[in-house]
Amino acid sequence: MATSRFVGYLESRKNIAGSAAGLAGLVLTFTGAAGAYWPVVVVGLYGAGALIAPPERPPLPAFPDPSAQLDALRDDFERLGGYLAEIELPPAAAGRLTELTGLLAALLDPGWVAEVLAQDPEGVHTLSRTVRQDLPEAVDSFVRTRWWTRMTPGQEPPERHLERQLSLLQDEAERLAAGLRETEARRQETHTRYLEDRGQ
């Protein structure tokens, strides 16, 4: 550990700047400008160089790129699908859930759509939140509330909340898909303008 720190300091900006200043002190010594106090001059210049050198910048943490995030999200979506397959839902909610999961599957499908999505960190975050948080929470809340409703009839049916939640998540996913489509449309228009400008 101590050896690696020492080697790290030898390669640091502070040591390089200090050494350069110290060499300037040696040059002054050989030209006779430093006089009898040349060791103090060399050490002082080394210290001054080390002090004014910019501090070392620690390396940025290596976070997974969006493509790797999408790979992990696909795995989580597959696990979510296994969970959802075990839940019995009313027909209306089941239909909405099928539409939503179909759209999510299309967005996560490897290919050019995923490549466009990978360039949109906010879109990846939105999709991740839907798969890992919002959709499981909506279904689990329905299952728990449905049990209590059976014990206390006369309350508002929990499937109404579930249907509303699934509709809101569907709207959000559709907005994400529309945004990706607009991105591709702008890309196409940009290429058209480029070709037109090139032909002039």
pLDDT of 58 > 90? The answer is: no
pLDDT of 186 > 90? The answer is: no
User: From CA 122, how far away is CA 107, in angstroms rounded?
Assistant: 14
Chain-centroid distance of CA 82 in Å reads: 26
User: From CA 168, how far away is CA 63, in angstroms rounded?
Assistant: 31
Residue 178, CA atoms < 13 Å, CB-side half-sphere = 6
CB 158 within 8 A of CB 146: yes
Fill in the DSSP letter of residue 89.
-
Sorted by sequence, the CB contacts under 8 Å of residue 126 that are 6+ apart come out as 172, 176
pLDDT the model gives residue 135: 96
Q: Is 7 helix (H, G, I), strand (E, B) or coil?
A: helix
pLDDT the model gives residue 62: 75
Q: How confident is the model at residue 2 (pLDDT cuts 50, 70, 90)?
A: low
Q: Which of 77-86, 97-106, 107-116 has the weakest average pLDDT?
A: 107-116
User: From CA 121, how far away is CA 113, in angstroms rounded?
Assistant: 14
Higher pLDDT pick, 104 / 17: 104
Sorted by sequence, the CB contacts under 8 Å of residue 113 that are 6+ apart come out as 106, 107, 180
Q: How confident is the model at residue 152 (pLDDT cuts 50, 70, 90)?
A: low
pLDDT of 189 > 80? The answer is: yes
Q: How confident is the model at residue 198 (pLDDT cuts 50, 70, 90)?
A: confident
Higher pLDDT pick, 166 / 55: 166
Prediction pTM value:
0.65
pLDDT the model gives residue 102: 95
pLDDT of 168 > 80? The answer is: yes
